[in-house]
Structure 1
Amino acid sequence: MSKIQLLDSRLANQIAAGEVVERPASVLKELLENALDAGSESISVDVEQGGVKLLRVRDNGSGIERDDLPLALSRHATSKIRGLDDLEAIGTLGFRGEALAAISSVSRLSLASNVEGEPEGWQVTVEGRDMAPSVSPAGHPRGTTVTMRDLFFNTPARRRFLRTEKTEFNHLEEVFRRIALSEFNTAFRLTHNQKVIHQLPAGLDDTLRAARVAKLCGKGFIEQAVPVDVERDGLRLHGWMGLPTFSRSQADLQYFYVNGRVIRDKVVSHAVRQAYSDVLYHGRHPAYVLFLELDPAMVDVNVHPTKHEVRFREQRMVHGFLYSSLHRVIAGVRPGQELAGSVADEGGPAAGMDAAMAPSQGNMSLTSPTGSGGSLSHPPGQAYPSTGGGVFGYGQGARQADAYGALVRGHVGESAPAVMPPANENETVPPLGYAVAQLHGIFILAENEQGMVVVDMHAAHERITYERLKQSWAEDKVRSQPLLVPVSLAVSSREADFAEQQPEVFSRLGFVVQRAGPETLVVREVPALLRNGDSESMVRDVLSDLLAEGSSERIAQKLDELLSTMACHGSVRANRRLTIAEMNALLRDMEATERSGQCNHGRPTWTQMSIKDLDRLFMRGQ
């Protein structure tokens, strides 16, 4: 083995470049972060051949003084930290001082800059193999321009790993998108081969910010997103989270920022996934643009060479804050609530949505409980005005179902009052309107002020039942209802042993199950909310889930799935004919129930077609 010796600076920088510079997109990330750290109000990016031939970033930030220009290209030279205390509370995007040195070692790099009050600027130039920088005067306004040419011209082996121009530009544009979403107060411009791709003015108000998000993430996202702004215990979370109905087949529209830095973190991912846990269809992914602000001392950003990962000093607190904030926002999304900051196109369903899960709920305005000005147009749980006639023409025979009790109990109160549309235009029409008819025993057709509403009655009832079961469980009030005729089940001896050994688990869920033989169980009581459900199938599925989890601790963790299974069995089934009163009772309960836009499996429960949609469909006015 040869003797130990120090590497020369060029070789050391090229080794470091292996961590910092993977492709043109990596270079852009470092240069944009430097420009933002310099306090720039405007940043322009010019790219040729996907960034391989040319990548230029120009800003109007604070600039670099002449004497510091050669030093800026040295390894581990930075103006952003001075000592260990600074490293433990980093407030800038960059801090290691190795990016420019790494980039200059594998490209032809020039850096021109000027500071406030200087009559002229200066430029430093470096070319990969020759690491000696040369400084010369340059006409340049206040700010900095970094120009990189011919990436990997001196390392052909690494250049061969680059992809096509289109692929490299797609990666570069994604980096541009992430950075442009992180700093709304800065204007951004991107050109590729002399063609303007993005021109983003500074977002100084909510409208311009929402317009930037729509431009970078798609109009469909902002139309189907809920604004978030929650602050507690020194933490602030704000941004936009997509409605569950705007889910994606891939996790390709998820942007999370910590103090302005886009990151990927297991704690964050788990908290977001939990918040969406029972409103997303299997295998789907939520969409969001969210910003977390906290004391820089509470997060360590120096844990990965690319700075994409962070470590929170109080992981449990951050996880709990994220989960509870997002969970409440999703829970508060109900029909009829106003979407603050929406730029929705009133003409129809959101454009650009993932087609597999895109109901046309875009015309219904929605918001989170944390937003301002959003409230139900009529208090939930109260009866809407009744009349003897109206445009629907039901007559007075329609009877009001007692909230949801009628559907669960299987009958309608004989003396219940009618639920009819308003007698005059001054009276309020509920968000989901009034039922008109039932279609094929599956869908409810209703009319509201916007147009036509179609509701999947089983999916909607399932969500309502599920939310009530969760609430009853949380309040320790899952009430049981004795069965007039106990149900006998033939089970395996293992299942019978489990039911006998852990009766308290079943009792907590609202069941009374007793062993009647080596392989026989008798169900004597079921949850009152699910009295009309399929008791035998319900108990079998719950028993199967309990056995699969094995312990009461795991059962507690999987409780929502258990309650979801119970709710599915206890919901009104397809092909059951409902009266107009029962249908209206369902609509009113949907308006008052959390997460009523999706069933327990993530499927949408209702969709809206506006009058404009219907006019377009039938080419009226064309």
Structure 2
Amino acid sequence: MKQNNIKILEPLVAQRIAAGEVIDRPASIVRELVDNAIDAGSNTISVELIDGGIERIRVVDDGCGIPQEDLALTAHSHATSKVSEIEDLESLSTLGFRGEALYSIAAGAVLTIQSTTKGEMGSHITFDNGKRGEVIPGGPSKGTVVEVKDLFAHIPARRLFLKTGASEARMAKLALIEKALPFPNLSFYMSHNGSPTLELPQTTPKNRVLDILKTHKEIIASCVIEMSYSAASFSLYAVATNAEVYRNDRKYINIFVNNRIIDEYALTQAVTYGYDPFLPGGAYPYCYLFITVDPKLVDFNIHPAKREVKLRNKAEIHHSVVSMIKQFLNLPTVQKTEHYASSKELFDQSPRNYQIVSNFHSSYRKEKGEVEPDWFNRAKQVLQKQQDEKKEESISIVHDIEFKYLGQLFSLFLLVEKDSSLFLIDQHAAHERILYDELKTVKGSQPLMIELDFEVERSIDTFLLENSEWYKEFGITIIRKGDLQWALTSIVPHYKLVEEDIIRSIQGYSGGNIEELHKMLYANTACKAAIKDGDIIDDDSAIALIKKVFALTYPVCPHGRNFVVEITRDQLFNTVGRIV
């Protein structure tokens, strides 16, 4: 075989190869052009697509424009107005800075740029698949219009990887949403084949998120909270759902650093850690986290799409994100009902929806300080059952919180008097939550006397090969016996879940984060071990459980149900027509 000599690529060939690193589909073009429009100080940015952007993309802004003498350089390799010296990389605040975007777009399409600066006549230029045209007079009345036609028409291999126009339009819309989220002070619009697909007028940060999530019917303004935190070298701001709304994946946890969306597992993990005490296993919030960092402490120049980032103080930011979320979720989220039912309303209507307790100690903590939950003392694994003789009425003190246990209702609820309110506690869900939290503190592993063999599908087999060591960290040991053949050899001490249930959970697990599987096992274990509806509980056991419930920050069972209802003295008095 003849060996080819090394040679320098023709400029056009090199340009088209480089283009693939930055521009791979219409969404990439939208992302880059909108970056430029934002950097130009625009107030309104409009994106028009034809056939998903494959046939045409048109981005119109009302920014500062491009001077006529600079138009010819706009699509030149590494031509930029934002960096001139190496030191400039340490103080960048703009979204675009490398001078690659227009150069890459021009290599694979027909690119026309029209622009007008203040006090000048407009002008325009066309680049036809890498070939530069002349600068010609004539442009918009203000700002810049960039038009991209016939994407990859001369690069068939790339065009083959594009999807249908509708699919490309959806991806382009998501790209615009990602750009619009950090800039609620700007207006963004998109149309596809002449029909509007996105309208985001100027608004507040919280309303920008609500506008984007308005198709999710479970999300209402009262379920969305704002959080913030400031440190010397960074600040945090988040718009997120409270613990009443969640989903079963991390799709809507979005992290932005200096107004750029990034893929950073450690920071996504920080969000999940912050929500962990408040959500059931395998549940995740809607959260848009915006981190502003000193430019000297962050480096975006490690990936063409700038979705990867190096943060010098990542550990500090991680800790601050977790702390901020926990702090804000601990704030009171339920307000007292202003309207109380009359006797007629009580009997004419369906049963009242009494107040769900979202935070036991929000007001108490303000007066007497933080309550320290007794997480680490092992509770009785099985509460004692029926006791024939009723003990004297009990009053208990827990962390200076006084309550009176009144008894059981329907063998389902524990009735408690506290702070001029009646509390109904779901005994099964409450005990389930306590056991769930205690299981999470258990360390070590308990060998099985007899190994249990099981078989898995090919996808699960691959997943287990990659993650078997993770299982060990959580106290579950599995070993591979052969192709698709595995054995369970040890489990977490005190697991009440039978071994076959663990195997079924492993066999049915679809992958993702191993912690999700473990949370699911914890939840199933706690559910099976907890006292059941209909169980009669002696007073001592009931009081022990109530103490732990009142020490919780957020009374939600592992499956997401609130298990405490509060009926205030005023509500009761008004219901029966008594004078408060």
Fold agreement, TM-score > 0.5: yes
Residues 124 and 136, structure 1, Cα contact 8 Å, conserved in 2:
yes
Change (3 A) 1:150 1:298: same
Instruction: Give the structure 2 partner of residue 618 of structure 1.
Output: none
Superposed displacement of residue 139, structure 1: 3.5
Change (3 A) 1:202 1:6: same
Residue range with higher mean Cα deviation, 565-574 or 290-299: 565-574
In structure 2, distance between residues paired with 1:337 and 1:465? 29
> Partner of 2:175: helix, strand, or coil?
helix
In structure 2, distance between residues paired with 1:365 and 1:415? 25
Superposed displacement of residue 255, structure 1: 1.4
Instruction: Give the structure 2 partner of residue 74 of structure 1.
Output: 76
Superposed displacement of residue 42, structure 1: 1.0
> Partner of 1:198: helix, strand, or coil?
strand
Instruction: Give the structure 1 partner of residue 273 of structure 2.
Output: 274
In structure 2, distance between residues paired with 1:368 and 1:16? 58
Superposed displacement of residue 3, structure 1: 3.9
2:35 paired residue among 33, 37, 40: 33
Superposed displacement of residue 123, structure 1: 0.7
Match of 1:138, as an amino acid? G
**Structure 1 residues 172-251: aligned runs within 5 Å:** 172-203=172-203, 205=204, 208-209=207-208, 211-215=210-214, 220=219, 222-251=221-250
> Partner of 1:28: helix, strand, or coil?
helix
Change (3 A) 1:218 1:363: farther
**Structure 1 residues 72-111: aligned runs within 5 Å:** 72-111=74-113
Residue range with higher mean Cα deviation, 213-222 or 455-464: 213-222
Match of 1:296, as an amino acid? P
Change (3 A) 1:73 1:562: closer
Residues 115 and 123, structure 2, Cα contact 8 Å, conserved in 1:
yes
In structure 2, distance between residues paired with 1:160 and 1:5? 28
Superposed displacement of residue 53, structure 1: 1.2
Taking structure 2 as the reference length, the TM-score comes to 0.67
Taking structure 1 as the reference length, the TM-score comes to 0.63
* Residue 596 (structure 1) aligned with residue 574 (structure 2): no
Residues 213 and 222, structure 1, Cα contact 8 Å, conserved in 2:
no
Superposed displacement of residue 70, structure 1: 1.0
Instruction: Give the structure 2 partner of residue 459 of structure 1.
Output: 429
Q: Deviations over 1:33-72 (max 9, x none)?
A: 1111111111111111111111111111111100101101
Change (3 A) 1:367 1:263: farther
Percent identity, aligned pairs only?
A: 30
Q: Deviations over 1:551-576 (max 9, x none)?
A: xxxxxxxx999998997798544322
Q: Deviations over 1:196-227 (max 9, x none)?
A: 12221111x46644543444776627553332
In structure 2, distance between residues paired with 1:167 and 1:213? 19
**Structure 1 residues 51-70: aligned runs within 5 Å:** 51-70=53-72
Match of 1:152, as an amino acid? F
In structure 2, distance between residues paired with 1:242 and 1:194? 34
Residues 40 and 63, structure 2, Cα contact 8 Å, conserved in 1:
yes
> Partner of 2:111: helix, strand, or coil?
strand
**Structure 1 residues 213-612: aligned runs within 5 Å:** 213-215=212-214, 220=219, 222-330=221-329, 332=330, 336=334, 414-416=392-394, 438=409, 441-442=411-412, 456-463=426-433, 540-541=494-495, 572-577=531-536, 593-597=552-556, 599=557, 601-606=558-563
In structure 1, distance between residues paired with 2:319 and 2:115? 45
In structure 1, distance between residues paired with 2:6 and 2:355? 70
Residues 358 and 555, structure 2, Cα contact 8 Å, conserved in 1:
no
Change (3 A) 1:70 1:458: same
Residues 227 and 367, structure 1, Cα contact 8 Å, conserved in 2:
no
Residues 40 and 59, structure 1, Cα contact 8 Å, conserved in 2:
yes
> Partner of 1:77: helix, strand, or coil?
coil
Superposed displacement of residue 105, structure 1: 1.2
In structure 1, distance between residues paired with 2:198 and 2:428? 45
Match of 2:231, as an amino acid? R
Instruction: Give the structure 1 partner of residue 141 of structure 2.
Output: 141
Match of 2:151, as an amino acid? L
Instruction: Give the structure 1 partner of residue 477 of structure 2.
Output: none
Instruction: Give the structure 1 partner of residue 123 of structure 2.
Output: 122
Change (3 A) 1:491 1:579: closer
Match of 1:414, as an amino acid? E
In structure 1, distance between residues paired with 2:430 and 2:553? 11
Residues 383 and 537, structure 2, Cα contact 8 Å, conserved in 1:
no
Q: Deviations over 1:311-354 (max 9, x none)?
A: 11122212222222223334x1666269xxxxxxxxxxxxxxxx
Instruction: Give the structure 1 partner of residue 161 of structure 2.
Output: 161
In structure 2, distance between residues paired with 1:436 and 1:55? 69
In structure 1, distance between residues paired with 2:125 and 2:529? 74
Superposed displacement of residue 588, structure 1: 10
> Partner of 1:85: helix, strand, or coil?
helix
- Structure 2 gaps, min length 5: 337-352, 370-378, 397-404, 417-422, 451-490, 503-517, 567-580
Change (3 A) 1:48 1:566: closer
Match of 2:78, as an amino acid? H
Instruction: Give the structure 2 partner of residue 528 of structure 1.
Output: none
Residues 435 and 583, structure 1, Cα contact 8 Å, conserved in 2:
no
> Partner of 1:182: helix, strand, or coil?
coil
In structure 2, distance between residues paired with 1:562 and 1:249? 15
Change (3 A) 1:206 1:312: closer
Change (3 A) 1:544 1:577: closer
Residues 54 and 149, structure 1, Cα contact 8 Å, conserved in 2:
yes
> Partner of 1:276: helix, strand, or coil?
helix
> Partner of 2:135: helix, strand, or coil?
strand
Q: Deviations over 1:494-549 (max 9, x none)?
A: xxxxxxxxxxxxxxxxxxxxxxxxxxxxxxxxxxxxxxxxxxx996439999xx9x
Residues 89 and 296, structure 1, Cα contact 8 Å, conserved in 2:
yes
- Structure 1 gaps, min length 5: 339-360, 382-403, 419-433, 447-452, 474-488, 494-536, 549-558, 610-622
